[in-house]
Amino acid sequence: MGRMEHNLSVKTDYISAFGNQHDGVIEIVGIVPGGVIEVGYFYGDAKPKNIVDISTQVGCPMSCSFCELGSERFVRNLTAQEIADQVTLMLDIAQKHGIDTARVPHKVTIAKTGEPLLNPHVREGLERIATLSQSFKISTVYPHNCHERLKEIADFASHYQRTVQLQISLISTSEEYRRKTAGKGVAGFEEIRAGAHYWREKNPTGRKINLSLILTEDVPCDVRSVRHIFPPELFRFRFRNYVPTTNGTSAGLHTLPQQKFEQILEEFRTVGYDVNEAATPTPTELKFGLAANVTRRRYLEMTGQTVRDV
């Protein structure tokens, strides 16, 4: 471990590298006071930018039923420094794995452990990372009543010289299914639309807001129930076929056959949506079952810690 890593507020004792330079993933478990978090690095031919994927909380209050955190309790919000240090640590590790990190463009995605719109330090964390000139993607399930936090991030995005993409995990096109699947209160569709309008007002030339759906056999997905609420001028859809995970499989989730998956994408295209398939798991992600927080769960199992212990 390099000299710099000793000074960071996030440490690691577990680094795993998968695939090769054409389709590679590096996953680490970050150790912070109170528990462990996951940080990822994704790269390869299919990606225009290398991606550093970071966490915002130890545990998560939302308890979504499809998440690898399962029923693990929420411990605390990461500080702005801990949010920023994950990027520094991961870039250093990627460099040691032969990636010339100073030369390739990066995107920092916030989509690992925790819900970013529940952490009051996220805006400051983004500002600290911004000194490295990355583009960003903030991925949220959009909890109920988090408009103030969304505003802070929208304001940050309006001043930042690079892209800040907002991605909302819609879970389903059925509001009822969405509410049932997230353990704690999530925003309804009208609340999401109001937040999106604010975002657009602040970022009139920015990208459309991504609404993401992870499709399984059982997730209700019908374009007719959302077309009137989420206008295609403001939103685009991003689909991912389900990567089987331990928690998801025990909750009875099943991957959708490819033909059905593509048929759903076509239905969304037909009514005017931009449909983004870049979210499709790569062969390396599929082969090793690398959905968010899977590496973290494996780490806890390998080190003999149960979810209750952490």
As given in the structure block, the two tokens for residue 180 are 């049932």
Query: How many chain residues touch ligand SF4 (CB under 6 A)?
Result: 10
The vertex-112 CA angle with 190 and 307, nearest 5°, equals 110
Indicate the residue type of 202: K
Q: Is 62 in the site for ligand SF4 (CB under 6 A)?
A: yes
- Judged by beta carbon, residue 60 or residue 243, the one nearer ligand SF4 is 60
Minimal distance, residue 110 CB to ligand SF4, in Å: 10
Contacting ligand SF4 (CB under 6 A), which of 83, 84, 141, 166? Answer: 141
Q: Is 39 in the site for ligand SF4 (CB under 6 A)?
A: no
User: How many CB atoms lie under 10 A from the CB of residue 254?
Assistant: 12
Q: Is 64 in the site for ligand SF4 (CB under 6 A)?
A: yes
Q: Is 157 in the site for ligand SF4 (CB under 6 A)?
A: no
Minimal distance, residue 35 CB to ligand SF4, in Å: 13
Q: Is 63 in the site for ligand SF4 (CB under 6 A)?
A: yes
CA distance 106 to 172: 30
| CA 265 centroid distance within chain | 21
Minimal distance, residue 56 CB to ligand SF4, in Å: 9
CA distance 67 to 247: 7
Q: Which residues neighbour 46 within 8 Å (Cβ) at sequence distance 6 or greater?
A: 23, 278, 282
The vertex-195 CA angle with 61 and 49, nearest 5°, equals 80
- Judged by beta carbon, residue 63 or residue 79, the one nearer ligand SF4 is 63
As given in the structure block, the two tokens for residue 61 are 């209050």
Sheet holding 275-276, edge to edge: 11-20, 23-32, 35-44, 50-54, 106-110, 135-140, 164-169, 209-215, 235-241, 275-276
- Judged by beta carbon, residue 14 or residue 74, the one nearer ligand SF4 is 74
- Judged by beta carbon, residue 32 or residue 141, the one nearer ligand SF4 is 141
Q: Is 170 in the site for ligand SF4 (CB under 6 A)?
A: no
Q: Which of residues 111-130 bind ligand SF4 (CB under 6 A)?
A: 113-115
Minimal distance, residue 83 CB to ligand SF4, in Å: 15
The answer to whether 166 and 212 have CB atoms below 8 angstroms apart is: no
**Contact residues: ligand SF4, CB under 6 A:** 60, 62-64, 67, 69, 113-115, 141
